[in-house]
């Protein structure tokens, strides 16, 4: 019997829904939507693979294949990290070595698909993978590094064993993942139980999403905004950096497409430093306090001529910030931070107001900001000390 057919019939006997694969590709060689709900017959399997026109085998995941699921690791380093953390399971879970990574096979209780950054979690009938002994497009054959068991594949919870972080799964899932192997993870959150017994549970939301890099080369700078964002949460305020490793791993997973430094340990080093540097949690600090004072104050004399209450408030804030740094120093302020403390919907308006004050000579941009660091400014008009007392107008010479 053709060896390919032998393998295909073995997969078929397990209850898997199979499809043929175009040679030297990972593309399905036949319309496969029908086989997402109903398996091809044994006669069709023999027709496809006995004297194969298509010498490649694919398997569809989900209920049609008895709950079959797979964790695809495109990044071999990510797989090795998982295997190091779960050596017993890594030694027994059926694993395929592909042309560039690894596929782990098991059964799951529900159908899901997720892009994990370093690969994919495939567990629904809308996705398939290529099986051994198919040839990868690179020319390297798929092979079972850890073979299939004689009986059923193990039924596992991918979150509980670290194959997928809970924050990846949708928040509308019906149930909470049970506690297993020291992990407590609720729907839509990332959590971790330590040997000391403490629990940190963090919901992934828009605030954390905004700390992700949007381009390469910016990972290091953004670990500080991430640290400040987490520090603002009561459940994280007193936590150690080590307690937040699972949260950081989720951040790292989401940031991977924009990260050049792929080693997670490098991100940990940067985050640890940032965590220890945080003095003020996100949304709390001197500038927020000064903004509250500015709301009840008259603007500096130079700002009285502006029609816009917003421009007047911005001028008052800048005068307070200048007074807060002693009058002859510089203060940090980004348009995003200004928009935040002033309650604006977007930072564009704040940027326009700052630009107007700069164009009128009331603000000097001493150093333009960059990612992770706000612009440095000097206010040249009347100064206002933090307690609200008006100070004398500085001469232009004094501002340089």
**Range list of H helices, the chain:** 3-13, 42-49, 76-85, 87-90, 206-209, 219-231, 245-255, 264-277, 286-294, 309-324, 335-342, 347-359
Given a cut of 80, is residue 166 above it in pLDDT? no
Report which of 242, 112, 125, 93 is spatially closest to residue 177, judged by C-alpha positions: 112
Q: What burial letters (b/e) apply to 136-167, b meaning 16+ CB within 10 Å? A: beeeeebebebebeeeebeebbbbbbbbbbbb
Tally of residues, the chain:
400
Q: With residue 367 as reference, give the H or E element that holds it.
A: strand 363-367
- % of the chain with per-residue pLDDT over 90: 33
What's the rounded mean pLDDT across residues 166-194?
Answer: 37
At residue 367, φ and ψ (nearest 5 deg) are -150, 125
Position 334 scores a pLDDT of 86
Given a cut of 80, is residue 184 above it in pLDDT? no
How is 223-283 classified by DSSP, letter by letter?
A: HHHHHHHHHTSTTTTT--TGGGHHHHHHHHHHHGGG-S---HHHHHHHHHHHHHH-SS-TT
Given a cut of 60, is residue 386 above it in pLDDT? no
Residue 242: pLDDT band (50, 70, 90) is confident
Residue 287 in tokens:
């500038």
Given a cut of 60, is residue 170 above it in pLDDT? no
pLDDT per residue as tens digits for the range 25-61: 888 887 888 899 999 999 999 999 987 676 799 999 9
At residue 56, φ and ψ (nearest 5 deg) are -145, 145
Which position has the token pair 């890594």?
Answer: 90
Q: In sequence order, which residues have a C-beta less than 8 Å from that of residue 205 and are 6 or more positions away?
A: none
What's the rounded mean pLDDT across residues 1-23?
Answer: 91
Residue 179: pLDDT band (50, 70, 90) is very low
Residue 360: pLDDT band (50, 70, 90) is very high
Given a cut of 50, is residue 388 above it in pLDDT? no
What's the rounded mean pLDDT across residues 143-156?
Answer: 94
Mode of pairing for the β-strands spanning 68-73 and 143-146:
unpaired
Mode of pairing for the β-strands spanning 95-97 and 102-107:
antiparallel
Position 85 scores a pLDDT of 87
The CATH code of the domain at 286-399 is 1.10.10.10
CA distance 275 to 227: 5
What's the rounded mean pLDDT across residues 215-223?
Answer: 76
pTM of the model: 0.47
CA distance 105 to 158: 11
Residue 186: pLDDT band (50, 70, 90) is very low
Question: In DSSP terms, which residues pair with 190 in a beta bridge?
Answer: 202
Query: 67: left (phi > 0), else alpha (psi -120 to 50), else beta?
Result: left
CA distance 69 to 61: 6
Report which of 215, 211, 208, 210 is spatially closest to residue 259, judged by C-alpha positions: 215
What's the rounded mean pLDDT across residues 94-115?
Answer: 92
Furthest-apart CA atoms within the chain: distance in Å: 97
Q: In sequence order, which residues have a C-beta less than 8 Å from that of residue 357 and are 6 or more positions away?
A: 311, 314, 315, 318, 363
Q: How many beta carbons lie within 10 A of that of residue 59, not counting itself?
A: 23
Given a cut of 50, is residue 194 above it in pLDDT? no
Which position has the token pair 């924050």?
Answer: 167
Cβ proximity of 321 and 331 under 8 Å: yes
Query: 144: left (phi > 0), else alpha (psi -120 to 50), else beta?
Result: beta
From-to residues of CATH 1.10.10.10 in the chain: 286-399
Residue 72 in tokens:
């695809």
Position 196 scores a pLDDT of 34
């Amino acid at each position: 019997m053709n060896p390919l057919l032998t393998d295909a019939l073995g997969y078929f006997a397990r209850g898997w829904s199979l499809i043929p694969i175009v040679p030297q590709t990972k593309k399905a060689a036949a319309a496969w939507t029908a086989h997402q709900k109903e398996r091809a017959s044994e006669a069709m399997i023999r027709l496809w693979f006995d004297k194969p026109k298509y010498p490649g085998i694919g398997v569809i995941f989900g209920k049609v294949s008895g709950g079959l699921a797979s964790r695809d690791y495109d990044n071999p380093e990510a797989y090795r990290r998982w295997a190091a953390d779960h050596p017993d399971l890594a030694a027994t879970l059926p694993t395929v070595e592909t042309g560039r990574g690894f596929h782990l096979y098991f059964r799951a209780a529900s159908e899901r698909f997720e892009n994990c950054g370093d690969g994919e979690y495939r567990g629904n009938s809308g996705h398939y993978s290529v099986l051994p002994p198919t040839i990868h497009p690179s020319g390297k054959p798929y092979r079972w590094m850890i073979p299939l068991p004689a009986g059923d594949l193990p039924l596992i919870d991918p979150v509980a064993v670290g194959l997928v972080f809970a924050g990846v799964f949708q928040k509308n899932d019906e149930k909470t993942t049970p506690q297993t192997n020291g992990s407590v993870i609720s729907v839509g959150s990332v959590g971790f139980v330590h040997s000391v017994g403490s629990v940190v549970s963090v919901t992934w939301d828009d605030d954390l999403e905004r700390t992700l890099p949007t381009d390469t080369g910016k990972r290091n700078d953004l670990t500080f905004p991430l640290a400040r964002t987490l520090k603002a949460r009561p459940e994280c305020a007193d936590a150690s950096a080590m307690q937040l490793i699972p949260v950081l791993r989720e951040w790292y997973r989401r940031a991977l497409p924009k990260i050049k430094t792929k080693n997670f340990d490098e991100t940990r080093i940067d985050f640890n430093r940032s965590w220890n540097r945080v003095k003020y949690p996100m949304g709390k600090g001197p500038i927020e306090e000064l903004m509250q004072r500015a709301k009840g104050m008259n603007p500096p004399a130079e700002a009285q001529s502006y029609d816009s209450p917003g421009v007047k408030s911005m001028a008052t804030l800048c005068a307070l910030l200048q007074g807060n740094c002693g009058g002859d120093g510089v203060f940090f302020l980004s348009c995003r931070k200004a928009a935040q403390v002033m309650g604006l919907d977007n930072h564009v308006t704040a940027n326009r107001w700052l630009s107007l004050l700069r164009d009128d000579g009331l603000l000097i941009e001493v150093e333009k900001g960059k990612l992770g660091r706000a612009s440095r400014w000097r206010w040249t008009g009347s100064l206002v000390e933090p307690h609200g007392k008006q100070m004398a107008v500085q001469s232009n010479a004094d501002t340089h």
